[in-house]
Amino acid sequence: MKFTQAAGANPTDAMRVLGHPTDRIEGPLKVSGRATYAAEFAVPGMVHGFVVGTTIATGRIMAIDASDALAAPGVLAVVTHENAGTIGIGDDHKVPMLAGPKVDQLGQAAALVVADSFEAARAAARLVRIDYAGDEGAFELAQAARAGADKPFRSNGHGDFDAAFADAPVQVDATYTTPDHAHAMMEPYASIASWDGDRLTLQTANQMVDWAARDMAKILDMPKDKVRIVAHHIGGGFGGKLWVRADAVLSAIAARQVGRPVKVVLTRPQMFNNTTHRSSTIQRLRLGADREGRLQAIAHDSWSGDLPGGGPEGAGAQTRQLYAAPNRQVVEWLAELNLPESSAMRAPGEAVGMMAIEAAMDELAETLTIDPVDLRILNDTQVDPEKPERRFSHRDLIGCLREGAERFGWSARSTTPGQRRDGRWLVGMGMAAAYRGNMVLKSAARVGIAGDGRVTVTTDMTDIGTGSYTILAQTAAEILGVELDQVTVRLGESDFPISAGSGGQFGANSSTAGVYAACVTLCEKVAEAVGFEPTNARFADGRVWSGNKSVALGEAAGGAGIEVEDRIEFGDLTKKFVQATFGAHFVEVGVDADTGEVRVRRMLGVFAAGRILNPKAARSQILGAMTMAVGAALTEELVVDPRFGGFINHDLAEYHVPTHADIPHQEVVFLDEEDPLSSPMKAKGVGELGICGVGAAVANAVYNACGVRVREYPITLDKVLAGLG
């Protein structure tokens, strides 16, 4: 099915199953420990691999002496570049998953010790001796950004920013920084590789099954159809598991060497330097407005870093479309750094970009003495500011702002900072817009009805904790007119039809649209099977109907059942229209007047993101997203070690993600809307939207509480205290 024009009335509109706050259908498996994650499969004959990471960031391996490790109890092999054979590079990797002789980053795998127990492998890993010749590396963004200032990575604009900014009577020119961030998902990277002749099975923690098969085939130089990926349940990915990592590649190579299945799980400390992270950013915002607050000029310059051959954090993305202004430029700069690989993490681009522009908007509102909500409403746009002939498919940022202000009690906010006190706490409110692009990707599914009337949905889509199992079941139940418990959903295997996968908040909308396509085709087949005119057939109560005649689905399917495969492909509606998701975040914080400690007291997010397929699952996504964003605002920071070129804080004791005690009352509201230009589901992405804007709302609330504007995230107490005086 090709989606090329606005969806009309269709079977999803009944909202009999969709649109209800349905519990996770796989929830009982998870809470009873029966949902098997990658590292939990008991594969007969399985042995264990332990990664030895490089201890230099850039240079060469001169010699590896594995003799002591090989002589240690239980050790079966030590995989290194000397015996691993040729290793390719995955499509989106910048460096190979095994170093040697070249070393590309600190913590890159230099060896994998394989032993009959995890403990034996770990102990022997300490006995592998590696001699390195190290080179000089660049590790600090601020320095590297200065060096590379002559060549932007990409640049977009409209009008004449410089002239308009110079002429603007009211200006803000401020620079914000965000540090390197780690995904820090609950489940570590983990893989179990088994070979059957020339066929590889990889049970692995991965968001994108088809990309995993593609990259494993490329890296190991083997046919893709000989790679079988299994990823039934994933304990969070946040972008870190979009691509295979060292656990996947090295378990496969090791399993081939030792002739037994090999499990590799990265330890928590290894994850911080061996895998990917979000680059630090330096973002300069220049806003020029007239005296009424209308933006005349917007510029967003963003610097970020990556290994040679990489790309920048797209922190300017939202600035191209968030507010009207005739003169604008967004420029992204890339500094080559020899830190571990930068990559997609938790709403790449907007998550940190919004922390800058939405703080700058607060500074502009302050300068203009305009309410921050009103300033955003005043500068709303219904068209792409760079291409005014291109409209938004649907944009209700204003609705979110108004609804949020009303519900949060925004009118009680003091416009002068430092006015409200609750014991030792200075209390303030802040807000920010939320904005995140809406991507769609083609997605296929197989849907079948068995002779007993049960429906099975099969697709390689993943459920990374998001609710994919549930919303795909809801979609099939809705269209086929059956109850939710009549539907079985099978996900996460590369033998299944190729879905959008989980990433970039495209998963829910795209993969349900794929199931929609398959169900529509299945309905035609079922109608034909019982001699009904397909265009007149209705599906309800487990039966197919034509007028007042009906046949039970199981009977219609017959003994052999009926099964079809189809897919959704998207035309050019994301080019013809700007497609994005919107929201407004409101935050109240307390700042300890003596210590500068910041505590979030309450949070509200109001969102306009198309039809909400399952309000409970969507709310949970947003709660998690808002929590992550509090981390970025207040606690999360990878600390670069400029001597060795890696991250010093490499565990959850020192890389601080919010805990329950950090997160107070959260409220999530979805505006009731549909976006028929996005997909036949009329839905959009929602998972990452909840992150985008929160950080600035927290920073703006801190300012309102105590009058200290911290532009270097995270807003730790030392920075607040320095301003409190």
Residues carrying an active site annotation: 688
Q: What is the smallest separation between the CB atom of 345 and ligand MOS, expressed in angstroms?
A: 5
What are the start-end ranges of the E strands in 405-528?
420-422, 425-437, 443-449, 455-458, 487-490
Closest residue to ligand MOS, judged by C-beta, is 239
By CB under 6 A, name the one of 345, 477, 587, 689 that touches ligand MOS: 345
237-256 residues near ligand MOS, rule: CB under 6 A: 237-239, 242
- Name which of 234 and 427 has its Cβ closer to ligand MOS: 234
Give dist(CA 227, CA 247) in Å, integer. Answer: 16
Give dist(CA 39, CA 264) in Å, integer. Answer: 8
Taking alpha carbons only, the member of 20, 7, 16, 22 closest to residue 681 is: 7
- Name which of 246 and 344 has its Cβ closer to ligand MOS: 344
Q: What is the smallest separation between the CB atom of 240 and ligand MOS, expressed in angstroms?
A: 8
- Name which of 220 and 683 has its Cβ closer to ligand MOS: 683
- Name which of 49 and 236 has its Cβ closer to ligand MOS: 236
* Cβ neighbours of residue 564 closer than 8 Å, sequence gap 6 or more: 446, 447, 448, 518, 521, 522, 525
Q: What is the DSSP letter of 393?
A: S
Give dist(CA 510, CA 504) in Å, integer. Answer: 11
- Name which of 687 and 714 has its Cβ closer to ligand MOS: 687
As given in the structure block, the two tokens for residue 73 are 């109890």
For residues 529 to 558, the per-residue mask of contacts with ligand MOS, x marking binding by CB under 6 A and - elsewhere, is: ------------------------------
- Name which of 443 and 486 has its Cβ closer to ligand MOS: 443
Q: How far is CA 440 from CA 112, 513, 521, 678, in A?
A: 38, 10, 21, 8
What region, left, alpha or beta, does residue 517 occupy, with left being phi > 0 and alpha being psi -120 to 50 degrees?
Answer: alpha
For residues 180 to 209, the per-residue mask of contacts with ligand MOS, x marking binding by CB under 6 A and - elsewhere, is: ---------------------------x--
By CB under 6 A, name the one of 346, 394, 585, 650 that touches ligand MOS: 346
Report the 10 Å Cβ neighbour count for 199: 13
Cα angle 403-405-410, degrees, rounded to a multiple of 5: 160
Q: How far is CA 393 from CA 385, 397, 581, 692, in A?
A: 14, 13, 10, 20
Taking alpha carbons only, the member of 480, 508, 487, 449 closest to residue 11 is: 480
Give dist(CA 682, CA 581) in Å, integer. Answer: 13
Report the 10 Å Cβ neighbour count for 482: 23
* Residue span binding ligand MOS (CB under 6 A) among the ranges 46-54, 340-348, 398-406, 717-725: 340-348
Given a contact cutoff of 8 angstroms between Cβ atoms, the answer to whether 280 and 54 are in contact is no
- Name which of 145 and 352 has its Cβ closer to ligand MOS: 352
Q: What is the smallest separation between the CB atom of 687 and ligand MOS, expressed in angstroms?
A: 8
* Residue span binding ligand MOS (CB under 6 A) among the ranges 148-156, 320-328, 338-346, 388-396: 338-346
Q: What is the smallest separation between the CB atom of 499 and ligand MOS, expressed in angstroms?
A: 14
Considering the rule CB under 6 A, would residue 277 count as an interface residue with ligand MOS? no
Q: What is the smallest separation between the CB atom of 436 and ligand MOS, expressed in angstroms?
A: 11
Considering the rule CB under 6 A, would residue 279 count as an interface residue with ligand MOS? no
206-225 residues near ligand MOS, rule: CB under 6 A: 207
Q: What is the smallest separation between the CB atom of 207 and ligand MOS, expressed in angstroms?
A: 6
DSSP string, 529-556: HTT--GGG-EEETTEEEETTEEEEHHHH
Q: What is the smallest separation between the CB atom of 404 and ligand MOS, expressed in angstroms?
A: 25
- Name which of 38 and 120 has its Cβ closer to ligand MOS: 38
Q: What is the smallest separation between the CB atom of 545 and ligand MOS, expressed in angstroms?
A: 41
The radius of gyration computed from the CA coordinates of the chain, to the nearest angstrom, equals 27
CB burial readout 234-267, b (16+ within 10 A) else e: bbbbbbbbbbbbbbbbbbbbbbbbbebbbbbbbb
372-391 residues near ligand MOS, rule: CB under 6 A: none
Considering the rule CB under 6 A, would residue 344 count as an interface residue with ligand MOS? yes
For residues 494 to 523, the per-residue mask of contacts with ligand MOS, x marking binding by CB under 6 A and - elsewhere, is: ---------xx-------------------
CB burial readout 668-693, b (16+ within 10 A) else e: bbbbebbbbbbbbbbbbbbbbbbbbb
Binding-site residue total for ligand MOS (CB under 6 A)?
A: 11
Q: Which residues pair with 114 in a beta bridge?
A: 49, 77
* Residue span binding ligand MOS (CB under 6 A) among the ranges 5-13, 126-134, 172-180, 231-239: 231-239
Considering the rule CB under 6 A, would residue 348 count as an interface residue with ligand MOS? yes
Q: What is the smallest separation between the CB atom of 137 and ligand MOS, expressed in angstroms?
A: 26
Q: Contact positions toward ligand MOS, by CB under 6 A?
A: 207, 237-239, 242, 344-346, 348, 503-504
